[in-house]
Amino acid sequence: MKHITLILVAFAAIVATANAAALAQDPQFNSDWSVKGKRVVNINSVIRVNQIEAARNLNVGNDEADLHTVEAAELFRKAVSDAIPEAKVTWAFSWLALQDERPNYVALRKKIVEFHRQYGDEITFIPGAYFAPMYNSRAQVNQDIHDALKLIEDMVGDGYRPHGIVAGFLAADNLRYLAEEEGIHVAQGTIWSQYGIDNGDGDGSLCYPYYPSLEHACKAAQGPDDFVDCVNLDGWTCDFLCARRFGFEDGANSRLGVGPIEAYNNLGKENGLKEAMAVTRSHFGENFDRNGFGWVVVCWELSLTGALKPYVTGCLTDWLKQIREEYPDAIVPLMSEFGEAWRKENPNNDALNYKFVQRGTGVDGAHSEPNLELQWFMNQKFRLATLRDWTKDEEPKIIDFTRYDLPAREPEDAKPDAPSRNWSLINRINMKHRRPEDAPIPVSELTDEEKALVKEKAPELF
């Protein structure tokens, strides 16, 4: 048995090496640049058949075939290129979209391959069409990833293989599998602050790149024995003030930020652009100076091109044009190019020390209170947020303190007919305040042990 195990380990290493070699052969892929000093925008799109593909043969939601056309893809791609010609887009196909033989899907697959060759766009997989671990076992998700990657390789040809995947959410073991078995080291595997909205909860992670723990995908790895070599990325940049809420609490939308539904469709063209740019500036302005780089990411499902109000797709062009005007140095690489560039500069989480300050945008309808100031500290050991009314010079209170130095555990495997919705990491204080112990506290009420922990990365709080 020992010899068989050694053989299997050796074989896995050979496969991973071969996969890594295949990745290195893509001449259009470029991660040979420094993240430091860069303002980065990532744009991902999803092509699916059903809203949620709970399993290979079970769907939740509507069939969206009518919304997935070559014309929609061309319109979306033009909206990007008209603003920033050199921009790259990551296209993520669902399991069904990779195989649907209806004419529109056959044509779509060919068109996206053309985009890959013309623009350097990436073609990859989205397991479950967002909520894979909420509906499937870890082993099944891994199998879906493996089989889908082969379908994509065959679809594109020429030895192509994606460098990252889009997932919405992934379990820690799925991220480990990607790195160790598939040789892929970048995943959009967390939706920052998501709780009480859509079909899954996953609050508790960092909102900028990090290596996840083997214990929990939302937890930052604490050391070499707890390390998954797959850069975990957020999928939607959100307004920090809105994101502190639970779902649609107080009439707000906790996912409001740069996304098309929450901004342009719900707030209108003018206010939507104001909100999206206010959130973008928070990352490309003073927080750029704090962190040494700025990153904004948006996922724009292809179905939205036809499902939302007719003007919305044009808002993507307007947003990107305004970014280029205000920040001419901003770049729009692939998500995986950004992740790999970050990975080259960060071999582990030891140096992570993200800091953000945002005041409410005050945009009409956004529920982003202009009198409030939210400050975030995010690093290997914890994430901590304070909130205050800056117009009254109030003392800030802690509204979130998620410790990554404590043990964590993900839910057991889900089943398609028995979903497991909540994959959040919540311990000391959570900003969604669903428990009595989540009541905000002043910094002075932290324990001595907690104060010592926080002082290491956020001495300015004291």
Whole-angstrom Cα distance, residue 377 to residue 20?
A: 34
CB–CB of 155/178 below 8 Å?
no
The structure tokens listed for 231 are 């850069």
Instruction: Confirm if 140 and 183 have CB atoms less than 8 A apart.
Output: no
Q: What residue has token string 């992934």?
A: 170
CATH code for the domain defined by 35-345: 3.20.20.510
Q: Which DSSP string corresponds to 10-42? A: HHHHHHHHHHHHHHHT-TT----S-STT-EEEE
Three-class SS of residue 461? helix
97/332 Cα distance (integer angstroms): 26
Phi, psi of 54 (to 5 degrees): -60, -30
pLDDT number for residue 393: 86
Structure confidence at residue 95 (pLDDT)? 97
What b/e sequence results for 29-42 when a residue is b if at least 16 CB atoms lie within 10 Å of its CB, and e otherwise? bebebebeebbbbb
Residue 19 has a pLDDT of: 55
- CA separation (Å) from 313 to 59, 183, 304, 326, 438? 27, 35, 8, 21, 39
- Along the 462 residues of the chain, how does pLDDT read in single tens digits? 445 444 444 444 444 555 554 555 678 999 999 999 999 999 999 999 999 999 999 999 889 999 999 999 999 999 999 999 999 999 999 999 999 999 999 999 999 999 999 999 999 999 998 899 999 999 999 999 999 999 999 999 999 999 999 999 999 999 999 999 999 999 999 999 999 999 999 999 999 999 999 999 999 999 999 999 999 999 999 999 999 999 999 999 999 999 999 999 999 999 999 999 999 999 999 999 999 999 999 999 999 999 999 999 999 999 999 999 999 999 999 999 999 999 999 999 999 999 999 999 999 999 999 999 999 999 999 999 999 999 998 999 999 999 999 999 999 999 999 999 999 999 999 999 999 999 999 999 999 999 999 999 999 999
**231-232 and 186-188 strand pairing:** parallel
Q: Are 256 and 239 in contact (CB under 8 A)?
A: yes
Given this model, what pLDDT does residue 25 score? Answer: 65
Residue ranges per domain, the chain?
Answer: 35-345, 353-461
Radius of gyration for the alpha carbons in the chain, expressed in angstroms and rounded: 21
> What is the CATH code of the structural domain delimited by 353-461?
3.30.1120.110
Q: In this structure, what token pair is assigned to residue 46?
A: 């999803």
Report residue 377: phi and psi, to 5°: -125, 125
Tracing tokens 């891994």 back to the chain, one arrives at: 142
